[in-house]
Amino acid sequence: MRSLVRVAALIALWVVLITLAHGAVNLDVFKPRRAGDGAKTFKIGFLPVTCHLTCPVTHFINKSMTGEEVFDPIRFNGWPELKEAYLSGYTQATFILAPMAMRLREEGVPLKIVYLGHRDGTAMMVHKESSIYRIEDLKGKTVAVPNRYSNQRLLLFKALRERGMSIEDIKLVEMPPPDMPAALYAKAVDAITSGEPFMGQTELDGYGRILYLTKDVWPDFISCVLAVHEDAIKNDRETVQRLVDGIASSGKWIDESMDHRMQAADFVSQNYYNQDPRLLQHVLSKPPDRVKYTNLALRRKDFEEIEALGREGGILEGKAGFDDYCDTSFVPDESVVKPYPWESPK
């Protein structure tokens, strides 16, 4: 019995020690708090993709210009977790696939799209050795898309239809974007499509070939949007407006010069995405209009096109219209938006 007590004591000691260690190295609980740390409760979900680049850029530039953190960017690793964290109220705003946001709205989730995150920035990749050279060649092939509610799927839908084909002509599989390069490498699928930089990665590593860039098939393509909880819109208009203005300014800043794009690639790779900076450098420059961060206002006709495609694709029911899922009152006048007056300290 005594040795049992000893074991229990050892276990208790271990629990205390590992808790203290975790608090010290991972949670920084022993570091002195700065004033205002507690006020930072506005959490925004994002994924490490170029479609969400303005989120970390806004956060980083704001922090280094004013020392202030307007919001708390939370990185997720996949769509389901990002969506669930929003539904649980853990994040008050989130970068999210446009059709997914519209679908959630149809299901009564209190969210409003307040701004876009980017335009374009998606590619369809095939294996270098594959015999697919035109969209028509996809007939009978297996194509990986990120999610059934992704615009990449709708884009494919549109591209096929314009060539007199339908989604029935290909085999679609859903796959998390980070797994796509390896799947293409192993030829487990014939083609992959998702947001960057996972498509550019296959080019950099020498086994992927671009079948199309979104800008060539669906100019001004929207993959992801910024969605905000209705409570935040009601109670905290100021923060939402600051956020939208920040994204507009950082978008302009990114698109101002190639040098800014490279600066963004560097600090976002290192501080937010934890990716090799070459990846973001590649997709932000080759070609420079592969993904764009200006012209982010919400346009009715863009969304109505997505809505129509979504209904055709069976993912939307048409229960929510543009005015239900969008709130355009935060959108700044594009001609007035100024890029951040900021340069990355080298």
Partner 1 sequence: MSSAAPLARGKSQRRLERYVLPSLVGLLFLCVWDALVRISGSDLFPKPIEVARGIGELAEKGLLHKYIVASLFRVTWGFTLAMAVGIPLGLFMGWFKWAFQALNPMIQVLRPISPIAWIPVAILWFGVSDAAPIFLIFLASVFPIAVSAAAAVANIQPVYVRAARNFELSRFDLFRRVIVPATLPQIITGLRIALGIAWLVVVAAEMIAVSSGLGFLIIDARNAGKRYDLVVAGMVMIGLIGLGLDLLVRRMERMDVVRWGYHNQ
Q: Is 25 in the site for partner 1 (CB under 8 A)?
A: yes
Site for partner 1 in 38-57 (CB under 8 A): 45, 48
Q: How far is CA 294 from the centre of its chain?
A: 16
Q: Which is nearer to partner 1, 79 or 253 (CB)?
A: 79
Among 69, 106, 169, 179, binds partner 1 (CB under 8 A): 179
Site for partner 1 in 195-234 (CB under 8 A): 197-198, 201, 204-205
Q: Is 81 in the site for partner 1 (CB under 8 A)?
A: yes
CA-to-CA dists, residue 307 to 262, 303, 310, angstroms: 35, 6, 5
Q: Is 178 in the site for partner 1 (CB under 8 A)?
A: yes
Q: How far is the CB of 290 from partner 1 (least distance, A)?
A: 17
Q: Is 129 in the site for partner 1 (CB under 8 A)?
A: no
Q: How far is the CB of 83 from partner 1 (least distance, A)?
A: 9
Contact 226, 113 (CB under 8 A): yes
Q: Which is nearer to partner 1, 178 or 321 (CB)?
A: 178
Report which of 120, 313, 119 is spatially closest to residue 216, judged by C-alpha positions.
120
What are the start-end ranges of the H helices in the chain? Answer: 2-25, 54-66, 79-87, 98-106, 151-162, 180-185, 198-204, 214-217, 230-235, 237-256, 258-268, 277-285, 300-312, 322-325
Specify the stretch interacting with partner 1 by CB under 8 A; choose among 101-109, 131-139, 272-280, 295-303: 272-280
Q: Which is nearer to partner 1, 291 or 331 (CB)?
A: 291
Contact 276, 269 (CB under 8 A): yes
Q: Is 186 helix (H, G, I), strand (E, B) or coil?
A: coil
Q: Is 225 helix (H, G, I), strand (E, B) or coil?
A: strand
Beta-bridged to residue 1, according to DSSP, are none
Specify the stretch interacting with partner 1 by CB under 8 A; choose among 18-26, 134-142, 231-239, 313-321: 18-26
Strands ordered across the beta sheet of 142-145: 171-174, 142-145, 191-195, 122-127, 208-213
Q: How far is the CB of 232 from partner 1 (least distance, A)?
A: 16
Among 13, 14, 29, 107, binds partner 1 (CB under 8 A): 14
Q: How far is the CB of 84 from partner 1 (least distance, A)?
A: 4
Among 29, 36, 40, 90, binds partner 1 (CB under 8 A): 90
Q: Please tell me whether the peptide bond between 32 and the residue prior to it is cis, using omega within 30 degrees of 0.
A: no
Q: Is 188 in the site for partner 1 (CB under 8 A)?
A: no
Q: Is 321 in the site for partner 1 (CB under 8 A)?
A: no
345: its two tokens: 């300290």
CA–CA separation, 338 and 340 (whole Å): 6
Q: Is 165 in the site for partner 1 (CB under 8 A)?
A: no
Report which of 331, 278, 276, 274 is spatially closest to residue 302, judged by C-alpha positions.
331
Q: Cα dihedral sign for 92, 62, 73, 310?
A: positive
Q: Which is nearer to partner 1, 26 or 66 (CB)?
A: 26
Specify the stretch interacting with partner 1 by CB under 8 A; choose among 194-202, 254-262, 294-302, 311-319: 194-202
- Total residues in contact with partner 1, by rule CB under 8 A: 44
Q: Which is nearer to partner 1, 12 or 65 (CB)?
A: 12
CA–CA separation, 342 and 43 (whole Å): 24
Q: Is 149 in the site for partner 1 (CB under 8 A)?
A: no
Q: Is 272 in the site for partner 1 (CB under 8 A)?
A: no
Q: Is 26 in the site for partner 1 (CB under 8 A)?
A: yes
Tracing tokens 């997720």 back to the chain, one arrives at 76
Q: Is 238 helix (H, G, I), strand (E, B) or coil?
A: helix
Residues that bind partner 1 (CB under 8 A): 1, 3-4, 7, 11, 14-15, 18-19, 21-22, 25-26, 45, 48, 74-78, 80-82, 84-85, 87-90, 178-179, 181-182, 185, 197-198, 201, 204-205, 273-276, 279
